[in-house]
Amino acid sequence: MSEDQPTGSAASVGVEVADAPAAQAMARFDAIYDQPDPRAYFRALGPLAYRTPGHAQHIFRRLKQALSTGPATTPLTVLDLCCSYGINAALLNHDVTLEDLYDRYTSREAAAMSTSQLIDWDREFFAARRRRDPARVIGLDTAARAVAYGRAVGLLADGFAENLESAPPGPALRRAVRDARLITVTGGSSFLSHRTFRPLLSAARGPVWVAAFVLRTTSYTSVGDCLAAFGLATERAAPTYPQRRFTDEGERRYAIDAVVAAGLDPEGKECDGHFHTALHLSRPTSDVVMTPLDTLVP
C-alpha cells in the first residue's frame, strides 16, 4: 500500500501519513507493502530498526489473557487492522520474537527460495512454534497479496483485502468480525477514521477492546470520539515506544515540529532520531474500572 491508500500496510510498517505535509516529509516504502511474501518488508525495515510489532507482542498477549474468560475451547477472536503479512498474528500466537523474523526473512536460506517454497517453510516453522492457547486472528488490509500470504502459512484464520475508508465492509467480513473481542493496530491509525471503525464495531455482537499504537505525530481524537459512541473509553498509556529510525533530517524535523505542535515534548524521543508511538486502549467503562490500565501495560 502507498501512503495515499488508507487501511493498509503502509501504516503497519511505520509510514503513517494523515495530511499533505506529512506525505511530503516522510519516506515512502511502496515497494514492500504488497509483495507475494514478506522478505522485502524485513530487508527494508531492518536497517531502520522498525520495532512496533515487537513492543506490541507482550501487551497484546496481556490483553488477550484479560479477555479470555470464556470456555477454554473457544479461542479469542482478534481483528488485526493493517495486518500486512500476518506479523502481529505470528508474534501473538507463536513462540517467536520480531528479531527472529528479521533473522529468518533476511537469511541466505530464505533468499534462495521461491515464494511457494517459503510458504511451505513458514507453514512448518510456525506450526512447530504455535502456543497452546492461540487466538483466532482475522486480518484486514488493502494489500491482497500480503493478506493471502498470512492465510497461506496459517497465521491468519481469515483475511480480507478491503478498504473501509472508501467502501463499506462486504458481507463475509461483517460475518467474520461478529465474535471479535479485540481489535489491534500497530500502525495505520492516521489512515483510519470512523469509516473503518464504525461498521466493524456495529458488526461485533459483544463488547470490543481496541488497542492501537499511534504515532505521536498523529491525533487519535476523532477515532476516540467514534469509539466513545459505542461506549468505549480511550486511555493513553504513559510509556512511549520507538517505532523506527528517521530516514533523513527531513523526517526528523517533521516529527519534532508535529509533536511540539501537539503539545508534546520531543526531548529523548524524536530528538534522538526515532518516531515514537503511544498505546491507546479503548474499552467499556466498566472494564476500565475493573482492570486499570497500568495492570495491562508494564
> Can you give the pLDDT at residue 5?
35
> Can you give the pLDDT at residue 64?
97
Q: Say if CB 120 and CB 114 are below 8 A apart.
A: no
What does 200-247 look like in DSSP terms, one character per residue? Answer: HHHH-SS--EEEEEEETTS--HHHHHHHHTTTEEEEEEEEEEEEEE-S
CA distances from 7 to 3, 81, 134, 154, 256 (A): 10, 7, 25, 22, 25
Q: Say if CB 264 and CB 216 are below 8 A apart.
A: yes
Instruction: State phi, psi for 211 to the nearest 5 degrees.
Output: -120, 115
> Can you give the pLDDT at residue 72?
65
Say what the pTM is. Answer: 0.92
> Can you give the pLDDT at residue 45?
96
- Report the Cα 94 to chain-centroid distance in Å: 16
Rounded Cα distance between 148 and 84, Å, is: 9
pLDDT in tens, the chain (298 residues): 323 333 444 333 333 334 445 555 678 787 898 999 999 999 999 999 999 999 999 999 999 999 997 666 689 999 999 999 999 999 999 999 999 999 999 999 999 999 999 999 999 999 999 999 999 999 999 999 999 999 999 999 999 999 999 999 999 999 999 999 999 999 788 789 999 999 999 999 999 999 999 999 999 999 999 999 999 999 999 999 999 999 999 999 999 999 999 999 999 999 999 999 999 999 999 999 999 999 999 7
DSSP-derived 3-state class of residue 5: coil
Rounded Cα distance between 212 and 183, Å, is: 8
How many C-alpha atoms does 124 have within 13 Å on its Cβ side? 5
Task: Give the pairing of strands 274-284 and 232-245.
Answer: antiparallel
Q: Say if CB 114 and CB 44 are below 8 A apart.
A: no
Which set of grid coordinates corresponds to residue 22?
506529512
**pLDDT tens digits along 88-119:** 999 999 999 999 999 999 999 999 999 999 99
> Can you give the pLDDT at residue 130?
98
> Can you give the pLDDT at residue 298?
79
User: What residues are paired with 184 via a beta bridge?
Assistant: 80, 211
Q: Say if CB 241 and CB 55 are below 8 A apart.
A: yes
> Can you give the pLDDT at residue 9?
44
Rounded Cα distance between 212 and 210, Å, is: 6
Rounded Cα distance between 141 and 163, Å, is: 7
